[in-house]
C-alpha cells in the first residue's frame, strides 16, 4: 500500500497577503479559449520555487484576483508560468495582457502532487481539459529525474482535437521511448486519427502496474470522481490516487473560509488530496 503524504509547502512570500509585481514576458494562445502567461519578477533577483501542484493568486489590478495552478517547470525558478481558460472577468482581462504588462502574484500556496512518494513506482497522470496544466510540472519534474520512476503514463482527455493543450510538447513527449502518452477526445473530425471517447476509457488498457502505481488526477470534479472509480476497478489502491481540487479561493491561507470543502480548506489543506480524504465528500450536494 502506498501512503501519499502531500509535500511540504515551499517558501512563500514574507507577507502572504501582499502581492508581488511580476512582468509578463510572453502570452501564448493554447486554444481558442486557453492561454499561457510567462512572467518574471519585477525584482529580477527573486527566484520562484514551487512544488508541482501548487497555485498562485494572480491579481489583475483594478479587476480582481483569482487562484491559478502553476503550469511551468519547477526546475526553472526564474520563470513563472500559468495556463488558464477564459471563464470570467479576471481571466478575460488576463488574456488581453501583453509583454511588459505587470500583475500581482501571491504564492505559491497549498500542497503539491506526491512526486516524492512516487519514486520507484509507475506513475499515471490522468488529466481532463485544462487539468493538464497543473500536471505539467509533474512531467517536467519526472523527466528531469527520469531514472527515479517506473513507467510514466499520461492519459489526457479533452473535448475535441482543437482543445488539446500543449500540443507541440505532447507530440515531443510522445516521441520519447520513456513516456507513454495517450490522448482522447469526445468527438473528432476526419482529420483526427487518435482515440475517441472519455478519458476513463483509456484506464483499463493503459500500460502500468496497478499494484505499484501512484496516480495523479486533475480535471473537473465529475471527471475525477469517475476516474478514481475506474482506477480502483483496475486495481489501484484508493490511497495511491491523488486529486487536485478547485474552489473559489480568496485569501489562500485558510482564513476566509471561501474554499471550505467538508472539513477541509482547499487552499491550505489542498489543493492536492488523496482520494480517501475526499471520497465521502465528492458526491455530496451543496458543498
Partner 1 sequence: MKTLDELLHEHEFFKGFKPEHLELMAGCATNVIFEAGEYIFREGENADVFYVIRHGHVTLEIHDPRRGPIAIDTLQENDVLGWSWLFAPYQWHFDAKAVKLTRAVAMDGKCLRTKCENDHTLGYLMMQRFATVLADRLQQTRLQVLKLYD
Q: Which residues bind partner 1 (CB under 8 A)?
A: 128-131, 157-159, 163, 184, 186-190, 192-201, 205, 219-220, 222-223, 226
- In the complex, the smallest distance separating the C-beta of residue 283 from partner 1, rounded to whole angstroms, is 15
- In the complex, the smallest distance separating the C-beta of residue 272 from partner 1, rounded to whole angstroms, is 19
Tell me the C-alpha distance between 169 and 166, whole Å. 5
Instruction: Give the residue with the Cβ less far from partner 1, 43 or 190.
Output: 190
DSSP 45-56: T------TT-EE
Task: Determine contact, residues 184/197, Cβ cutoff 8 Å.
Answer: yes
Instruction: Give the residue with the Cβ less far from partner 1, 12 or 95.
Output: 95
Instruction: Give the residue with the Cβ less far from partner 1, 88 or 194.
Output: 194
Task: Determine contact, residues 106/13, Cβ cutoff 8 Å.
Answer: yes
SS3 2: coil
- In the complex, the smallest distance separating the C-beta of residue 187 from partner 1, rounded to whole angstroms, is 6
Number of neighbouring beta carbons within 10 Å of residue 88: 12
Q: The cell 476497478 sits on which residue?
A: 233
- In the complex, the smallest distance separating the C-beta of residue 130 from partner 1, rounded to whole angstroms, is 8
Tell me the C-alpha distance between 282 and 194, whole Å. 31
- Residue 203 sits at the vertex; the CA angle it makes with 286 and 2, to the nearest 5 degrees, is 75
Instruction: Give the residue with the Cβ less far from partner 1, 9 or 234.
Output: 234
- In the complex, the smallest distance separating the C-beta of residue 159 from partner 1, rounded to whole angstroms, is 6
Instruction: Give the residue with the Cβ less far from partner 1, 59 or 156.
Output: 156
Amino acid at each position: 500500500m502506498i501512503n501519499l503524504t502531500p509535500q511540504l509547502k515551499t517558501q512563500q512570500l514574507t507577507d502572504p497577503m501582499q502581492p508581488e509585481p511580476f512582468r509578463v514576458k510572453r502570452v501564448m494562445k493554447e486554444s481558442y479559449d486557453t492561454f499561457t502567461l510567462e512572467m518574471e519578477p519585477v525584482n529580477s533577483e527573486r527566484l520562484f520555487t514551487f512544488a508541482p501542484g501548487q497555485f498562485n493568486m494572480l491579481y489583475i489590478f483594478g479587476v480582481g484576483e483569482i487562484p491559478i495552478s502553476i503550469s511551468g517547470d519547477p526546475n526553472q525558478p526564474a520563470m513563472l508560468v500559468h495556463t488558464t481558460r477564459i471563464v470570467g472577468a479576471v481571466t478575460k482581462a488576463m488574456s488581453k495582457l501583453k509583454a511588459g504588462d505587470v500583475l500581482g502574484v501571491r504564492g505559491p500556496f497549498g500542497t503539491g502532487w506526491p512526486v516524492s512518494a512516487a519514486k520507484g513506482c509507475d506513475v499515471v497522470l490522468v488529466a481532463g481539459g485544462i487539468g493538464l496544466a497543473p500536471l505539467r510540472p509533474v512531467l517536467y519534474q519526472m523527466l528531469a529525474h527520469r531514472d527515479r520512476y517506473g513507467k510514466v503514463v499520461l492519459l489526457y482527455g479533452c473535448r475535441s482535437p482543437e482543445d488539446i493543450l500543449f500540443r507541440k510538447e505532447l507530440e515531443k513527449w510522445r516521441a520519447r521511448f520513456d513516456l507513454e502518452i495517450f490522448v482522447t477526445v469526445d468527438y473528432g473530425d476526419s482529420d483526427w486519427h487518435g482515440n475517441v471517447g472519455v478519458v476513463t476509457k483509456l484506464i483499463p488498457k493503459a500500460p502500468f502496474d496497478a499494484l505499484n502505481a501512484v496516480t495523479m488526477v486533475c480535471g473537473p470534479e465529475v471527471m475525477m470522481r469517475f476516474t478514481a472509480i475506474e482506477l480502483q476497478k483496475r486495481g489501484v489502491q484508493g490511497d495511491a490516487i491523488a486529486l487536485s481540487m478547485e474552489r473559489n479561493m480568496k485569501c489562500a491561507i485558510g482564513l476566509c473560509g471561501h474554499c471550505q470543502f467538508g472539513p477541509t480548506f482547499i487552499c491550505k489543506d489542498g489543493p492536492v488530496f488523496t482520494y480517501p480524504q475526499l471520497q465521502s465528500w465528492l458526491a455530496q450536494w451543496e458543498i
